[in-house]
Structure 1
Amino acid sequence: MLLADIWYPNWWQALILGMVQGLTEFIPISSTAHLRVFPALVGWPDAGASFTAVIQLGSLLAVLIYFASDLRQLLLASWNAWQKRDFHQEAWRLLVGILVGTLPIVVVGLAIKVIWGSPPRQLWVIAAAAIGLALLLGWAEQTGKRERDVHSLGIWDGIWVGLAQTLALIPGVSRSGATITAGLFLNLQRSVAARYSFLLGIPALFLAGGLEFISDFEVEALLSQAVGTVSAFVFSYLSIDWLLQFLQRSSTWLFIFYRIGFGLFIVLGLTLGFLRP
């Protein structure tokens, strides 16, 4: 893409796009999909994968602040386990699981970046991914026993959930949707699966946002990126708090039905012509 072809949202457009990012990043309905579909509905150009990745840094900051106490305890306990060479401690297993679980999406993401530049963002792909993950999430909701709590998490959980996280490189899948689905298949409680999804997303969000900011740095984009990042931070924090409380008392069927409806809406829009592929 030529530099002249790149669209930079103005400050109020970036504010709205940041709000969309924040509200949908951690809820399992795909932030990337909504950042692709919403501009198409209102007649804006696609801001692109780079803008999306950079404003995700606001979502990352929201996770770091929301779970600051948990992260501090995890790191201190893991350091204590390392000093004592006690690698069976719960905190150590959880930390290693998060780090190992990050490797698949880093490797696959870099391969896509080198070979194709960015994943496909066509609306047909997003529609198929939205519906496909909804069916998987429904299956996990039906079959998962939801009997495991946070104390049972180990390295293998990180590996399996981390492999599922690579599916989020397909727009429309949703990183949180893929990881929560994997967590339910592993018989985690819903709120534990969501919390683990948030923690596992910290390295992925940092690497994706940082890489895109450095590799595609443009002075013209700084204002929109800054406004979008701040907006994403505020609404991400609110959505994290809401989702954890929601999953303590409710199932994921609301998101399953929403994803199916969202996917069908895209198909309808493409068929009738009020959305362009």
Structure 2
Amino acid sequence: MDLLQIFILAALQGLTEFLPISSSAHLILAPLVLDYADQGFAFDVAVHVGSLLAVISYFRHEVISISRDFFKSLFNRYATTPESRLGWMIIVATIPVGLFGLLMKSLIEGELRSPLVIAITTIGFGIVLLVFDKIGKHSRDEYSITWRDALIIGLFQAVAIIPGTSRSGSTMSAGLMLGLTREAASRFSFLLAIPTILMSGGLVTLELISSDASADWNSLLLGTALSFITAYLCIHYFLRFIERIGMTPFVLYRLILGVAILIFFLP
């Protein structure tokens, strides 16, 4: 891989993992548009590790307090705190995507990676995001999420294993539908990314180990670093401005991207 390809793919992963515009769609389409060879399992793992490190680093204080209080609550049910409850909600919301991912893995990696599927989901779930952003009450924070809310958000996240849907976009849509503020829906979506990326990255890592594929460590380390930087900046500025700008700019981008895919990639 040359430096330009590493930069483009790593930056795409770092930016699109947390914006509601689908990282999988961009990583699938980028090699087609730019005529690049497939980047391979190893690079996919590297850029996902960069995104994971970015979200953990950005929310390091929340991660520490949630983890600490969660483990305390395991041994003392009277030690429940808002942070421990949030930890439980993250676990509940993670379960559906783990089950769906295992059951539909071959389908996701095959037929569902087509430009037609990506175009339909990009447009369709963009409209879903816009509707819930407009009708949502925007009155709750992430600490008010209930077991039922967590399960609903988790089911939305499970649907997002279909390329083009966007994991962050679907979970934010669910949060907005349930009355969360834009920032609260985004923060829960970003925290939810930690166990989700750990699971998906773990599966890809196991496949990489079993495949005996060679690795270009310089490219992998550079991809990880670039993905970390772009993802960290993306999270910071998204949370800073989302209440002010709303979801409409991202919806418009999705609609334009979906139409462009239909025009340029389909006969």
**TM-score, with length taken from structure 2:** 0.91
Tell me how far 1:182 sits from its aligned partner. Answer: 0.5
Amino acid aligned to 2:265 = L
Identity %: 36
Equivalent residue, structure 1, for 2:233: 238
Q: Distance in 2 between matches of 1:26 and 1:264?
A: 22
Tell me how far 1:152 sits from its aligned partner. Answer: 1.1
Equivalent residue, structure 1, for 2:20: 28
Equivalent residue, structure 2, for 1:131: 123
Verify the 8 A CA contact 2:135 2:177 in the aligned structure 1: yes
Amino acid aligned to 1:241 = H
Equivalent residue, structure 2, for 1:264: 259
Task: Return structure 1 stretches of 4+ with deviation > 6 angstroms.
Answer: none
Equivalent residue, structure 2, for 1:227: 222
Tell me how far 1:53 sits from its aligned partner. Answer: 4.9
Tell me how far 1:54 sits from its aligned partner. Answer: 4.5
- Unaligned ranges ≥5, structure 2: none
SS in 2 for 1:219: coil
Verify the 8 A CA contact 1:145 1:187 in the aligned structure 2: yes
Deviations along 1:85-135, one digit per CA (max 9) or x if unpaired, are 12753222211111111111111111223x447252111111111001011
Verify the 8 A CA contact 1:104 1:162 in the aligned structure 2: yes
2:201 to 205, 209, 213: 209
Q: Distance in 2 between matches of 1:132 and 1:253?
A: 14
Deviations along 1:233-270, one digit per CA (max 9) or x if unpaired, are 11000100011011132210111111001100111112
Q: Distance in 2 between matches of 1:203 and 1:15?
A: 26
- Unaligned ranges ≥5, structure 1: 1-8
Q: Distance in 2 between matches of 1:149 and 1:216?
A: 39
Equivalent residue, structure 1, for 2:102: 110
Equivalent residue, structure 2, for 1:84: 76
Equivalent residue, structure 1, for 2:172: 180
Deviations along 1:70-90, one digit per CA (max 9) or x if unpaired, are 111112223343443127532
Deviations along 1:149-176, one digit per CA (max 9) or x if unpaired, are 1331232222111111012211111100
Tell me how far 1:11 sits from its aligned partner. Answer: 4.6
Deviations along 1:187-214, one digit per CA (max 9) or x if unpaired, are 0000000000001111010111122022
Q: Distance in 1 between matches of 2:217 and 2:158?
A: 28
Q: Distance in 2 between matches of 1:27 and 1:117?
A: 21
Amino acid aligned to 1:100 = V
Q: Which moved more, 1:211-220 or 1:180-189?
A: 211-220
Verify the 8 A CA contact 2:42 2:215 in the aligned structure 1: no
Q: Which moved more, 1:252-261 or 1:42-51?
A: 42-51
Amino acid aligned to 1:167 = V
Q: Distance in 2 between matches of 1:181 and 1:63?
A: 20
Equivalent residue, structure 2, for 1:93: 85
Q: Distance in 1 between matches of 2:102 and 2:192?
A: 18
Q: Which moved more, 1:118-127 or 1:16-25?
A: 118-127
Q: Distance in 2 between matches of 1:59 and 1:220?
A: 20
Change (3 A) 1:140 1:230: same
Q: Distance in 2 between matches of 1:226 and 1:249?
A: 36
Equivalent residue, structure 2, for 1:200: 192
SS in 2 for 1:86: helix
Deviations along 1:18-65, one digit per CA (max 9) or x if unpaired, are 011111110000111111222222111343677435521210110000
Q: Distance in 2 between matches of 1:241 and 1:92?
A: 24
Q: Which moved more, 1:212-221 or 1:161-170?
A: 212-221
Verify the 8 A CA contact 1:78 1:91 in the aligned structure 2: yes
Q: Which moved more, 1:131-140 or 1:11-20?
A: 11-20
Verify the 8 A CA contact 1:93 1:155 in the aligned structure 2: no
Alpha carbon RMSD of aligned pairs, Å?
2.0
